[in-house]
Amino acid sequence: SSSVMNISEHLSCPLGFGHYNAVDICILETVVIVLLTFLIIAGNLTVIFVFHCAPLLHHYTTSYFIQTMAYADLFVGVSCLVPTLSLLHYSTGVHESLTCQVFGYIISVLKSVSMACLACISVDRYLAITKPLSYNQLVTPCRLRICIILIWIYSCLIFLPSFFGWGKPGYHGDIFEWCATSWLTNAYFTGFIVCLLYAPAAFVICFTYFHIFKICRQHTKEINDRRARFPSHEVDAAGDTGHSPDRRYAMVLFRITSVFYVLWLPYIIYFLLESFRVLENPALSFLTTWLAISNSFCNCVIYSLSNSVFRLGLRRLSETICSSCMCLKDRDVRDPKPRKRANSCSI
């Protein structure tokens, strides 16, 4: 009980009402953060290994952005080790302000990279469907790498003013006391981020996916009309080689984008309300923040369940690991290590 009380002394427990409830909520917060940290790191490491071991995934140009998102989400999990270790090792509060600023900045930059990658993926699929003949000339590996570099640079710059006292970059659910009491949000800085990041990314995604599914719907209607007029296998073969693979892949990416905004929308709404001093609720702050951070693990689950090529690569990776473990076990059985003869001293 003394260790639990020590945890409660070093944590800001926004959901607690009374001492015992505060202790219980502190333990709950710790479990949530530790579990999310483990799931994010393990899930994104799996995605990265599968992409490196499955050559078919590299045929998609969006694999550049998917891998970038996986690395960004992996760094989110690694950076979440900061509050995790502070919870488990009873942080003393030394340089708490600097730790809080750096942690909030890193989390904001990494999620900005994910949001920008989702917008770029939607543009890539839009070009693949609207301009299939000139797509390979427009989207080249060199241009993709330049685009990814620009995404990282832009994400780092847009949150940089927070270090100079102009508002909070957007991290709530404060584990550190200094973040909750001394580092306040600013309405102008929040509007700055919304206008230069959230709103443009959401507009691009809505515009591109609206036209993608509109074009795919028209293409499906044309195929059905041709089948009705000319019920032959040649028409079916010609129609099936159209946009159906692009449509299926666009659906996978649309699911990832939809889940991203579903998990991030409460956080963005609370961020705006708190910045304009309309609502300040520590419980909502904690819940919306870590709900948004949980998206770093949800991307792995959605992609593994929706993409057949990814599932094939994951199965081959697991088979390779299992076969290597079996080989080591068989080797130990065939060539057992000689046991050391015990003497009186060892006994």
Q: What is the mean pLDDT of the chain?
A: 75
Q: Each residue of 212-239: pLDDT tens digit?
A: 888 878 877 777 777 777 665 544 444 4
CA–CA gap between residue 127 and residue 139 (Å, rounded): 9
Helix (H), strand (E) counts: the chain? 15, 0
pLDDT band with cut points at 50, 70 and 90 for residue 18? very low
Q: Please give the pLDDT value at position 9.
A: 46
**What type of residue sits at position 65?**
F
- 19 pLDDT more than 50: no
What are the tokens at 337?
């290590």
| Residue 305 pLDDT grade (very low, low, confident, very high; cuts 50, 70, 90) | low
Distance between CA atoms of 146 and 139, rounded to whole angstroms?
11
Residue with more model confidence, 37 or 336: 37
Which percentage of the chain shows pLDDT scores above 70? Answer: 71
CATH numbers and ranges of domains, the chain: 27-227+245-328 (1.20.1070.10)
Q: Maximum distance among all alpha carbons in the chain?
A: 94
Of 23 and 61, the one with more pLDDT: 61
- pLDDT bracket for residue 149 (50, 70, 90): very high
| Alpha helices in the chain, H assignment, sequence order | 2-10, 19-53, 63-79, 81-88, 96-130, 135-138, 141-158, 177-181, 187-193, 199-229, 233-240, 244-275, 282-293, 295-306, 308-334
Please compute the mean of the pLDDT values over residues 99-122 and round it to a whole number: 87
Across residues 313-325, what is the average pLDDT? 74
